[in-house]
Every structure is written in structure tokens, then in C-alpha cells.
Amino acid sequence: MPKVSEEYKEKRRISILESALKCFGEKGYHLTTMDDIVAYSNMSKGLIYNYFKSKEELYISLMEERSKKTLEFIQSQFEQIKTATEKVKELFRIYQEASLTEEWRSFIRVHLEFWIYSSRKEHLRELMNTRYKSQFRNFLAEVIEQGRNSGEFKQDVQVEVVASLFWSFVDGICLHYSVLWEDYAYKEHFKETEKMVLNYILVK
């Protein structure tokens, strides 16, 4: 039997994740079954189980993949940016200019649905809490700390609180957009939120 390359395996794994995201987006995490993902992906159930032991594991892998790519993209955008102020502005720009497609809306629903679902499961709550703190909150906290040290931001700014507030704003705006869609002024809400946050943290 010919040996399957690691590159081929990885392509299949990504294909399964993309199929799962489509199914989760259309039916919701709770209603989606592994059979749905099998049907959508045109792969056998046995093959999918070789990569992922359960729907839950598949979802967690999907979120980890997305989180990793998101943070890597943001870090690449930061490479040429020196000041903390410009980094915060760039973060807002990235979300303001997101392509407001059905795919983006679907991903928001999937992410937030599982976030709520995990609050009822202790092992998932711990996993999501660790992921949030060690990845997203700490990432932004470093930027806020840089701003305090450079004198750009007020010294009494609470680093972790501001970092958490930013992601709370992002989740809230995205949630409203996912529900209200074209009736919600997505970009305008991000612009006004940026003004509020900068007004709060910047040294006058």
C-alpha cells in the first residue's frame, strides 16, 4: 500500500475541519452530528475518526486552528508597528475591515455558541478559560503594558481589565452582527468603541 505523505494527511485534516465548520454554522453545534460531517465531507466515518475521536474534539481543534491563525496574522501586522497606540488601532482596524460575509457570520455563531456551551461542562470551561487567558488576553495585555511603560497609556490603567474589555467588545459587537446582520451597523460600532477605548487609556 502506498505511503500517505504528511502533507496529504494535513490537507485531509484541514478539509474535515472546514466541513465541520460548515455544518456547525448551518445546524449549530448541538444539532450537528458526526454523520452530518461525514456526508458533507464525502469521507468515511472511519477516516474522520482516525483524525478526531469526537465532535467535541473536532470543534476544539477547529477553534485552536482558527485562534492560532488569527494571532499569527495579528502578530505579522504588528511587525512594522512600533508604538502600543498604533497596535491597538491596528487591532480595531482588522475587525472593522473584516469581510462581512455569511461565512464570517456563521463562524461567529459557531464560536459563541460553543463558548456558552462550555460554561456548563467543567473540563471545557477550564480549557476555554485557559485558552482565553493564555492566548487572547495575555497577547493584548502585553501591548497595554508596553503602552504604560512607554508613557503612551495612563499609569493607572488596569492591564488585564482593559485587555478583557477589548475582547468583550469584540464578542458583543460580533454577536449582535450575527443576529441582526444587515440591520446592524457593524463597522460604526467598532469605530465608536475604538474612540472610547483610546479615550480611556491614552495619556491626554
Contact 84, 146 (CB under 8 A): yes
pLDDT confidence band for 63 (50 / 70 / 90): confident
pLDDT at 7 over 90: no
Q: What is the pLDDT of residues 138-175, one digit of tens each?
A: 999 999 999 999 999 999 999 999 999 999 999 999 98
CATH number of 1-53: 1.10.10.60
Query: CATH 1.10.10.60 occupies which residues in the chain?
Result: 1-53
The stretch 64-86 carries a mean pLDDT of 90
Q: What is the DSSP string of 51-115?
A: H-SSHHHHHHHHHHHHHHHHHHHHHHHHTT--SHHHHHHHHHHHHHT----HHHHHHHHHHHHHH
Its CATH class, for the domain covering 59-201, is mainly alpha
Helices 102-118, 122-131: inter-axial angle, 10-degree rounding: 120
pLDDT confidence band for 1 (50 / 70 / 90): very low
Query: CATH 1.10.357.10 occupies which residues in the chain?
Result: 59-201
